[in-house]
C-alpha cells in the first residue's frame, strides 16, 4: 500500500500546487483501528481535512485505474473544502472550551492504549472520555478528543473536567428517542425516492402521496418482522450512545414497562426494547453480535454486551 499512497500523494499534490500542503500518515481511530489518511492543510488555516485512503486502495486492488482514484479524491476534497477559515485559537483557553465540552462512550478493552493518554471514567464495560464539540455549516458536527496534555495546559484536574463535560453535553447535545418504525419510514421513503424520476410539472403532490404510501408499506413489513424498538441518540446523531449517561433519560421514557433492554447499535446510537418478560437473553446477545459483525464499521463499534435498565432500581447494568 505504501507505493499506492506515495503515487496518490504525488498526483494530488501536483494538481493543487504549492497553495496546499499534503501529507500522508497513519491515524489511530476509535477502537484502535488504524487508517491511512491523506491530510490537506491550506496556508493560514488552523485545521486540516483528511481523506482516508484505505477504501480507495481496495478499489485499486480490484482493478480501478489510479487516474480515476486520483480524480475521485480531488473531487471529494473540493466538495468538502471549507470556504472560510476555522480558527481554533479558543482551544488554548479553557474558559472558551468549557461551553463546548461533551462526553463520548467508547469500548474499554479496545481502547486501552488510547486511554493511557486520555482522561476517562470506567462505566460498566465502557469508558467515558471528554471531547470538545465543533458545530457549523462547514463541519456539521465534529469533535476534538481531549487528552492529558490539554488538561495540563489548562490547569484543570480530571474529575472536574469530566464532571463539567457530563453536565454541559446535556445542553448542547439534546437527547432524541425515535420509534424504529419512523426511522424505517424515512429510510424507505428516501430509498424509493432515489429510484423514481423527477415528477412532471403539476404531479408533485401525487408523487409525494405515492412515496408516503410505498414507504409506509415497506416500513410496516420491516417492523412486522420483529418487536417494536426505539432508537436513542442525540439530535445530531453524533456519539449519541452517550445519552445513556444523562440522568433520568430512561426513566422519562419507560412508561408502564418494568425495564428496557439496551442494545448497542454503534457509538452513535442504541436501541431500546421494552421488557415484556418474553425476551431471551441468548437471542438478544445473538442479535447484537450479528449486527456488529455485519453492519457496524470497526471504528464505530461500541460493545457486544446487552444492557438492562431496571425501572425500580433506576440504573443500568450488563445483562
Return the domain boundaries, the chain.
Answer: 2-79, 89-172, 176-318
Alpha-carbon Rg for the chain, nearest whole angstrom, is: 23
Q: What one-character-per-residue DSSP string does 2-60 give?
A: HHHHHHHHHHHHHHHGGGEEEEEEEEE-GGG-EEEEEEEEETT-S--EEEE-HHHHHHH
Q: Which helix (H) or strand (E) holds 233?
A: strand 230-234
Q: Which helix (H) or strand (E) holds 279?
A: none
Q: What would the grid cell of residue 129 be?
A: 472520555
Q: State the chain's mean pLDDT as an integer.
A: 83
pTM of the model: 0.77
| Model pLDDT for residues 269-312, shown as the tens digit of each residue | 999 988 888 888 999 999 899 989 988 999 999 999 999 999 88
Minimum mean pLDDT among 16-20, 178-182, 202-206, 223-227: which range? Answer: 223-227
Residue of 42 and 170 predicted with greater confidence = 170
pLDDT at 210 over 60: no
Q: What's the pLDDT score for residue 197? A: 52
Percentage of the residues of the chain whose pLDDT score is greater than 70: 80
- Tell me how far CA of residue 71 lies from CA of 1, 6, 75, in angstroms: 18, 15, 6
Q: Which residue has the cell 456519539?
A: 239
Beta strands in 30-167 (DSSP E): 34-42, 49-52, 101-107, 121-123, 126-136, 140-145
Q: Which residue has the cell 425516492?
A: 193
| Model pLDDT for residues 108-154, shown as the tens digit of each residue | 999 999 999 999 999 999 999 999 998 765 556 788 899 999 999 99
Cβ(175)–Cβ(236) under 8 Å?
A: no
pLDDT at 27 over 70: yes
Cβ(120)–Cβ(128) under 8 Å?
A: yes
pLDDT tier for residue 21 given thresholds of 50, 70 and 90: confident
Task: Tell me the β-bridge partners of 40.
Answer: 22, 49
List CB contacts of 209: < 8 A, sequence separation 6 or more.
none
Distance CA 7, CA 66 (A): 9
Dihedrals φ, ψ of 264, to 5°? -70, 115
Where does residue 31 fall: left (phi above 0), alpha (psi -120 to 50 degrees), or beta otherwise? left
Cβ(235)–Cβ(173) under 8 Å?
A: yes
* Burial label, 303 (beta-carbon count in 10 A; 0-12, 13-18, 19+): buried
- Closest C-alpha to 308, from 274, 273, 270, 261: 261
pLDDT at 171 over 70: yes
Amino acid at each position: 500500500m505504501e507505493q499506492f499512497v506515495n503515487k496518490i500523494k504525488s498526483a494530488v499534490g501536483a494538481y493543487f500546487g504549492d497553495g496546499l500542503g499534503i501529507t500522508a500518515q497513519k491515524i489511530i481511530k476509535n477502537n484502535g483501528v488504524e487508517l491511512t489518511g491523506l491530510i490537506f492543510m491550506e496556508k493560514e488555516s488552523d485545521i486540516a481535512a483528511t481523506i482516508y485512503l484505505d477504501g480507495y486502495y481496495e478499489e485499486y486492488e480490484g482493478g480501478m485505474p489510479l487516474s480515476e482514484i486520483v480524480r475521485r479524491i480531488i473531487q471529494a476534497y473540493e466538495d468538502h473544502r471549507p470556504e472560510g477559515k476555522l480558527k481554533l485559537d479558543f482551544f488554548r483557553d479553557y474558559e472558551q472550551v468549557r461551553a463546548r465540552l461533551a462526553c463520548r462512550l467508547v469500548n474499554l478493552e479496545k481502547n486501552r492504549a488510547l486511554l493511557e493518554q486520555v482522561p476517562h471514567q470506567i462505566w460498566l464495560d465502557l469508558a467515558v472520555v471528554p471531547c470538545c464539540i465543533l458545530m457549523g455549516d462547514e463541519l456539521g458536527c465534529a469533535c476534538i478528543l481531549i487528552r492529558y496534555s490539554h488538561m495540563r495546559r489548562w490547569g484543570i484536574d480530571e474529575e472536574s473536567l469530566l464532571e463539567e463535560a457530563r453536565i454541559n453535553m446535556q445542553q448542547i447535545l439534546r437527547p432524541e428517542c425515535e420509534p424504529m418504525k419512523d426511522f424505517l419510514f424515512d429510510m424507505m421513503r428516501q430509498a424509493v425516492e432515489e429510484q423514481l424520476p423527477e415528477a412532471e410539472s403539476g404531479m408533485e403532490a401525487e408523487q409525494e402521496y405515492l412515496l408516503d404510501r410505498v414507504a409506509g408499506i415497506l416500513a410496516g413489513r420491516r417492523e412486522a418482522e420483529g418487536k417494536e424498538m426505539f432508537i436513542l441518540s442525540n439530535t445530531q446523531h453524533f456519539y449519541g450512545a452517550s445519552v445513556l449517561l444523562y440522568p433520568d433519560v430512561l426513566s422519562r421514557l419507560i412508561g408502564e414497562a418494568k425495564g428496557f433492554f439496551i442494545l448497542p447499535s454503534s457509538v452513535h446510537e442504541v436501541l431500546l426494547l421494552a421488557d415484556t418478560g418474553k425476551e431471551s437473553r441468548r437471542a438478544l446477545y445473538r442479535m447484537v453480535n450479528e449486527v456488529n459483525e455485519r453492519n457496524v464499521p470497526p471504528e464505530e463499534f461500541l460493545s457486544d454486551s446487552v444492557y438492562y435498565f431496571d425501572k425500580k432500581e433506576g440504573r443500568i447494568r450488563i445483562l
